[in-house]
């Protein structure tokens, strides 16, 4: 990795990773503001703002924004998450200044045209409807809300129909002014880029964001509980969550290994026991998402409603058993997978750009590959088992289930047994 970092007097951070063998560049602006930064009357505004950024500025129409990037063979996109919003592009190396110009324009000079706003609100309402029609999407929305009730952290990134319909241009401008500030923004670029050129372009084009850091969001509080919704579906969809670890926790890599041993692929314990041995489901997996002040361990399976009680009992047994019986070969396999995945990602300029932006937010620096590998190598059977035990004892579980049949009602009861067993 060939990383350079510059912090402008405004507080804007520019980080680049030069890949000399490439002719293209991936670059973007990451803003340290997402759905958890929304106030109670702003549910879904982060995501709406992301959409509206592409719908015209004081210098470009929505069509011109798309055409200028696509005319040089590039592409432009964005994404909203719980803690960040990203606006990014991929272009040829000669077109990096154009990409920075477009990115700065859509963030600094959005027009928020009323007609465009109405159209885009309609688009997002369709997006909300799509999620509601997709059981294995909506069950995760329910799970997040159940784990973090009454908090912006637990609310859907998309917002609700009512909240989205109610937003006006003034709301978008207020949110942007409060949260889009240079000290909370990172311009990241990888591939065929010149660091000095990127810095010079950023100095010229992002001056308007010079302001103190935005206010911090409220701390996340994992509560747990259950939500069961009866729907006429072919399958029951069940998701379970426990509080995980934050990005800076020293035991993070041990918990990541535990998560992947449990449900990280076809060789994982859950896949082998639940699908291959018992045939209880088609798909089952576990994951862990670390955030700035908490973590989210999740597990999902879809099965016939009548099989939910057996499925949940097997999941709880496997989860508890793993804290005592994870073995050397499992840990070695997952560590090798993690290192291979890391190396494969580094072959992509887009993946590198996302990685260095995330690391700058989480750690204030880009972590060298050798340091990440050393952290993975330091994981042992004992640290993995301990991370699993600590997670089971940390919080009351959250469970969300969607489908038909009395078996669904047993899911929450069985999961509550996990808390008693951990205690």
Name every residue whose Cβ is closer than 8 Å to that of residue 118 and which is 6 or more positions away in sequence: none
DSSP assignment, residue 110?
B
Label residues 403-415 b or e (16+ Cβ within 10 Å = b): bbbebbebbbebb
Other CB atoms within 10 A of residue 292 CB? 18
Name every residue whose Cβ is closer than 8 Å to that of residue 176 and which is 6 or more positions away in sequence: 49, 110
Examine the domain organization and report whether 270 and 415 are in the same domain. yes
Structurally, how many domains does the chain consist of? 2
- The residue among 182, 209, 236 that closes a domain is 209
Examine the domain organization and report whether 179 and 264 are in the same domain. no
Per-residue pLDDT tens digits of the chain, which is 423 residues long: 799 999 999 999 999 999 999 999 999 999 999 999 999 999 999 999 999 999 999 999 999 999 999 999 999 999 999 999 999 999 999 999 999 999 999 999 999 999 999 999 999 999 999 999 999 999 999 999 999 999 999 999 999 999 999 999 999 999 999 999 999 999 999 999 999 999 999 999 998 888 888 888 999 999 999 999 988 888 999 999 999 999 999 999 999 999 999 999 899 999 999 999 999 998 899 999 999 999 999 999 999 888 988 998 999 999 999 999 999 999 999 999 999 999 988 889 999 999 999 999 999 999 999 999 999 999 999 999 999 999 999 989 999 999 986 667 677 677 766 666 555
Decide the pairing of beta strands 225-230 and 13-18: unpaired
pTM over 0.85: yes
The catalytic residue positions are 50
Phi/psi at 2 (5° precision): -120, 80
Task: Supply angle C-alpha 278, 417, 323, rounded to 5.
Answer: 70
Q: Are 157 and 187 in contact (CB under 8 A)?
A: no
Tokens 């939910």 sit on residue: 308
Side-chain-side CA neighbours of 322 within 13 Å: the count stands at 28
- The residue among 209, 242, 266 that closes a domain is 209
Three-state SS at 397: coil
Examine the domain organization and report whether 262 and 406 are in the same domain. yes
Q: Is residue 216 part of a domain?
A: no
Tokens 């994982």 sit on residue: 268
Examine the domain organization and report whether 103 and 27 are in the same domain. yes
Examine the domain organization and report whether 88 and 236 are in the same domain. no
CA 320 to CA 127: how far, in whole Å?
38
């Amino acid at each position: 990795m060939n990383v350079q970092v510059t912090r402008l007097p405004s507080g804007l951070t520019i980080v680049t990773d030069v890949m000399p063998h490439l002719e293209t560049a991936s670059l973007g602006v990451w803003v340290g503001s997402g759905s958890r930064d929304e106030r109670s009357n702003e549910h879904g505004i982060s995501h709406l703002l992301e959409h509206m950024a592409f719908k015209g500025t004081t210098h470009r129409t929505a069509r011109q924004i798309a055409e200028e990037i696509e005319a040089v063979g590039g592409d432009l996109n964005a994404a909203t998450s719980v803690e960040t919003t990203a606006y990014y592009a991929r272009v040829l190396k000669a077109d990096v200044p154009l990409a920075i110009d477009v990115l700065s324009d859509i963030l600094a000079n959005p027009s928020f045209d009323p007609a465009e706003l109405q159209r885009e609100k309609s688009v997002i309402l369709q997006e909300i409807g799509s999620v509601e029609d997709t059981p294995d999407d909506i069950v995760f929305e329910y799970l997040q809300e159940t784990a973090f009730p009454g908090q912006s952290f637990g609310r859907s990134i998309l917002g609700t129909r009512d909240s989205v319909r109610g937003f006006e241009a003034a709301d978008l401008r207020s949110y942007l002014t409060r949260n889009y500030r240079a000290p909370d923004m990172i311009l990241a670029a990888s591939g065929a880029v010149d660091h000095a050129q990127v810095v010079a372009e950023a100095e010229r084009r992002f001056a308007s964001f010079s302001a103190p850091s935005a206010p911090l969001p409220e701390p996340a509080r994992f509560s747990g509980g259950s939500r069961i919704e009866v729907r006429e579906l072919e399958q029951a969809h069940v998701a379970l969550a426990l509080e995980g670890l934050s990005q800076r926790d020293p035991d993070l890599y041990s918990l990541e290994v535990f998560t992947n041993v449990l449900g990280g692929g076809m060789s994982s314990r859950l896949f082998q026991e639940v699908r291959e041995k018992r045939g209880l489901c088609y798909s089952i997996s576990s994951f862990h998402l670390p955030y700035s002040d908490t973590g989210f361990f999740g597990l999902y399976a879809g099965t016939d409603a009548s099989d939910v009680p057996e499925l949940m009992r097997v999941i709880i047994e496997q989860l508890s058993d793993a804290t005592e019986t994870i073995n050397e070969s499992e840990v070695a396999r997952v560590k090798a997978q993690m290192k291979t995945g890391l190396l494969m990602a580094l072959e992509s300029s887009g993946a590198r750009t996302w990685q260095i932006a995330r690391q700058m937010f989480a750690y204030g620096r880009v972590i060298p590959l050798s340091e990440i590998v050393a952290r993975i190598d330091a994981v042992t059977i004992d640290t993995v088992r301990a991370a699993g035990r600590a997670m089971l004892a940390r919080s009351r579980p959250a469970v969300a289930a969607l489908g038909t049949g009395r078996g669904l009602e047993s899911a929450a009861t069985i999961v509550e047994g996990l808390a008693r067993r951990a205690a």
